[in-house]
Chain A
Amino acid sequence: MSIHHKSNWELLKNGMFGENTIFRMAISLCPSIAVTNGMKNGVALGVSVMFVQTMVNITVSAMRKFIHPKIRIPIFMLIIAGYVTIIDMLMATYARAVYREIGLYIQIIVAFASIFARAEVFASKNKIVPSFFDGFGMGVGFLLAMIVISFFRELLGKGELWGISFVSGNPLLIMVLPAGGFLAVGLLMGFFNWVDMKFYGGKGASGV
């Protein structure tokens, strides 16, 4: 029994652009601001989320016939928390420098609405292969958003990219401050809405 009518490629594309977690759906916003003051942190968190999202989708899809619908919420939570614990320990061991800065936000992945939503909406109703592509696409979309935001913030705020400095002079300090995160996401979101309205005839998303 499957309810989707899309090819795997369409699923991937949907996750990456159509329903991009941050810019279109506007959920799981906390890390998009918290860890995007440098590209290293942004990519580290993006990859962690991609891993958790993909694995959760696969697991939920594989177990969908055994999970009783009435207790599905705690079970999804447990599955997500399990994978987050795995990635948390891996990061703490193999990426100490990054982990010291973003450790708390890795643990917070448990409370991500986007991961839970995909498990509930998609993986619990579909076969393993489409679920994989759906989760992977969503993860890649999240990673892309993190890269875009942290690219601008690190470049403008520190004059560096990936820790390598190549712009001399005074950088725009506000961009790495907390306030800059909100401003960057707001401006980028507005820009993507503008592109959507101008070239694709959309009505502009995110009506929250």
Chain B
Amino acid sequence: MDFAKLFELVVAASLINNFVFTRFLGLCIFFGVSRKMETAVGMSITFTAVMVVSAALSWVVYEKIMIPLDLTFLKIIIFIGIVAAFVQSADTIMKKVSPALYYKLGVYLALITTNCIILAVPLINAGEKYNFFESMAFGLGSGLGFALALVIMASIRERLEVADVPAPFRGLPISFIIAGLIALAFTGFSGLITL
């Protein structure tokens, strides 16, 4: 196992190819839950955890079941199935084992299935032929990157509540423009690491 490569993967996935700002995935959730810091943090934690586990799960299924059986053409259907099944079972288990945690984070679990990053990560892992640990590192990096984006956005939007925005731009339009400015800053990371 090459730790330097794993570290590079995490940094690359979280900063350089940040899912929200340079790959534009997960925007619905990004704009949906970034209104308050509290929800943004809850979503970030849940999302990163789900991301790592589902990256690992889909790697196992892809390498050990789908490739030997020549089923790679079904990858879209199978990956979405894995994610949905995992989220559903995590939901059930959490409700039973730790109701306190479920009360805090359960609502985000339900939302996660509509997040396209959750599907993009296994697809990219399969496309790039990452090994097991690299897949998990990529999942972790993209989770952290999404968390970073959410927290930045939430802290700005909380202040925006008191700002005097022109009426047609209130709500989503101004958030898009802010996201554009943050994305501009994130282009500064490009070229930091070349994989």
| A interface residues with partner B (beta carbon < 8 Å) | 26-31, 33-34, 73-74, 77-78, 81-82, 84-85, 88-89, 104, 107-108, 110-113, 116, 174, 177-183, 185-187, 189-191, 193-194, 197, 204, 206-208
A110-B119, A177-B187, A186-B177 given; name 20 further pairs at CB < 8 Å. Answer: A28-B28, A33-B24, A77-B81, A85-B77, A104-B127, A107-B123, A108-B25, A108-B119, A110-B76, A110-B80, A111-B115, A112-B116, A116-B114, A178-B187, A179-B181, A182-B176, A182-B183, A183-B177, A207-B172, A208-B172
- Inside 8 A of A190's CB, which chain B residues have their CB? 166, 168-169, 173-174
Name the prevailing secondary structure of the A interface residues: helix
Query: Quick check: A30 and B28 within 8 Å, CB to CB?
Result: yes
Chain B stretch 154-190: residues in CB contact (< 8 A) with chain A: 166-177, 179-181, 183-184, 186-187
- Provide the B87-122 mask, 1 if CB < 8 A to any CB of A, else 0: 000000000000000000000000001111011100
Assess whether A26 is in contact with B177, with CB atoms less than 8 Å apart: no
Contact A206 B76 (CB under 8 A): no
Chain A residues, Cβ within 8 Å of B84: 73-74, 77
Taking A77-B84, A110-B76 as contacts, is the C-beta distance between A178 and B173 under 8 angstroms? no
B37 at interface (Cβ–Cβ under 8 A)? no
